[in-house]
Structure 1
Amino acid sequence: MMIQLGNFFFRCRNIIFIFLYLLLFVPSAELFGAERWGDKYFLYPIVLGLLITVSGQLIRGGTIGLAYIIRGGQNRQVYADGLVTTGIFNHVRNPLYIGNILMLWGAGIMANSFLFTLIIMPLFLCIYQCIVLAEEAYLKKKFGMDFIDYTKRVNRWVPNFKGIGDTFSSMKFNWKRWLIKEYGTQFVWLLGIAFILLYKYPTLIGRDPETKLKYAGICLLVIGTYYLTIRFMKKSGRWK
């Protein structure tokens, strides 16, 4: 049952990710409130959330930059043309998904949302567990004992950091690949962070609508310029 659900969620995972991201802005009870945390209560979710969500993007960056694995499947179905076990995949089997989880979890904490952090995120974890089970069923069927041996050596979710320094020192980090494979995700992620800060924390820039609109325009310009620059470098073939 979970494998069938996983195949369904795999086909819809991009839409699911965007939908869950939009739920960050649904009104919710606060994780951190002024009554308990004092006048500077808003700093706690901002700092903690940023640390977590940025760590998620760094994990994704380290994974893609060292040993990239085809994430898109084929014809909206689970697919792999090879079994990737090097780079970060040598320390945990699903580093890209761990990165996604941390990015969303950190964003939920930044939004100071009880609903998102403690209700939506567990649902997100269940969806990813189903997807992973579907992927593993496919990989076991295609790669047999090679994949089974890999699962015995490397954990599904809990990273083993032993030898992580050797992994980074023994492989060349391809930062161009990180950017051209990740700029779309980064665009949505950065916009989400910007609008959380602008609209969830009026004490940072004030409550004046014109001021909010001005800063929103600046954020959109900066992030949009980054997106268009990386897209141009990719499509023009200057970064291969």
Structure 2
Amino acid sequence: MKILMLAFGTFFFKYRNQAFPLIILVLFVAVPPTTAILGSTALEQWKDFVALAMVLAGLVLRAMVIGYAYIKRGGLNKRVYAKDLVTEGMFGVCRNPLYVGNMLIYVGLFLFHGNPVVVIVGSLLFGFIYQCIVYAEEEFLANKFGEAYSAYCRDVPRWGLKLSAFSASTEGMAFNVRRVIAKDYSTMSSTLIALLATEFYRVAADSISDQELSYAIVLVGLLVAVLALTGLVSSLKKKGVFDKLTAVR
């Protein structure tokens, strides 16, 4: 089983940028989002609140990781690779903090959609894929860094957050706001687009009533604004605006 998971991990490490959006699109299109839980709009609103809180927590965690000690997760030539063993910043709190952040975002998106099939299948599938990717990365790191990596694994949890280590692991480090924007604006943008598109899908699943028309227009306006802001940030990044890495202490 471990060998099969390693093969899956290697595959999805290489093609995750293409596979993950496709999987989400298929799940979301296959079944419409919920509009009420057990006939209760109040429960639906609480569910959405929890979902949005999870998404926000995931984005914040990713920002903390990138702001303190960012490492390139794309590997080398789309293969698992690491030049150094990074153990400071949020990597002193969790061995896979970016993946934990991603899972919070994905599960939050699935929960926001609300259909039980999407929530269960999506969460389990992405959890399995990330575990496979982690196995592939761990095998590479263990082979390259040996006992140093073994000691790191003994001290830092794979998925949990050892918050008691945060102060020591970030001591003397500065939080880099510009790097967060430059490196993670696309994740923030795609997450907002997914939320807005899902909400619009919910409103327009059958037909848009006169009462829902204004809300639908607001959603479209927000979607256009997110796309425009994303384009602006991308343009500024190409012009080198974020090259000067500004830190906040």
Query: Scaled by the length of structure 2, what TM-score is found?
Result: 0.86
* In 1, Cα distance between equivalents of 2:91 and 2:179: 17
1:20 matches 2:23: yes
Deviations 1:25-84 (A, max 9, x none): 43168596243xx34232122101000111011111100111001111111111111111
CA change 1:39–1:188 in 2 (3 A) is: closer
Matched, 1:231 2:248: no
Query: Given that residues 53 and 102 in structure 1 are in contact (C-alpha distance below 8 angstroms), is that contact kept between their aligned partners in structure 2?
Result: yes
Check whether the contact 2:33–2:198 (CA below 8 A) recurs between aligned residues.
Answer: no
CA–CA separation in structure 2 for the residues paired with 1:189 and 1:66: 22
| Structure 1: distance between partners of 2:213 and 2:203 | 15
Q: Percent of pairs identical after alignment?
A: 31
CA contact (8 A) 1:45 1:111 kept: no
Q: How far apart, in 2, do the equivalents of 1:111 and 1:228 lie?
A: 26
Mark the runs of 5 or more structure 2 residues left unpaired by the alignment: 244-249
- Tell me how far 1:197 sits from its aligned partner: 2.1
Q: Residues of 1 paired with 2:48 and 2:67: CA distance?
A: 28
C-alpha RMSD of matched pairs (Å): 2.3
Show structure 1 runs of 4+ deviating over 4 A: 28-32, 165-169, 208-213
Shift of 1:165: 4.3
* Paired position in structure 2 for 1:154: 156
Q: CA deviation at 1:217?
A: 3.3
Alignment partner, residue 72 of structure 2: 70
Correspondence for 2:10? 7
1:173-221 alpha-carbon deviations (Å, 9 max, x no partner): 111111111111222111001112222256xxx6358646633431232
Q: Secondary structure at the match of 1:119?
A: helix
User: Residues 69-122 of structure 1, C-alpha deviation per residue, up to 9 Å, x if partnerless?
Assistant: 111111111111111111110011000011110001011111112112112211
Q: Distance in 2 between matches of 1:127 and 1:116?
A: 16
Contact (CA 8 Å) 1:31, 1:113: kept in 2 or not?
A: no
Equivalent residue number for residue 180 of structure 1:
182
Match of 1:52 in 2: 54
CA distance in 2, matches of 1:115, 1:210: 29
Structure 2 counterpart of 1:137: 139
Q: Tell me how far 1:170 sits from its aligned partner.
A: 3.7
2:45 is aligned to: 43
Secondary structure in structure 2 of the residue aligned to 1:126: helix
Q: Which residue of 2 aligns with 1:89?
A: 91
Change in CA separation of 1:151 and 1:91 when aligned onto 2, cut-off 3 Å: same
Equivalent residue, structure 1, for 2:111: 109
- 1:224 shift after superposition: 1.3
Contact 2:189 2:230 in 1 (8 A): yes
| Rounded Cα–Cα distance in structure 2 between residues aligned with 1:31 and 1:159 | 34
Aligned mates of 1:162, 1:26 — CA distance in 2: 43
Letter in 2 for 1:70: K
- Residue 33 of structure 1 aligns with which residue? 37
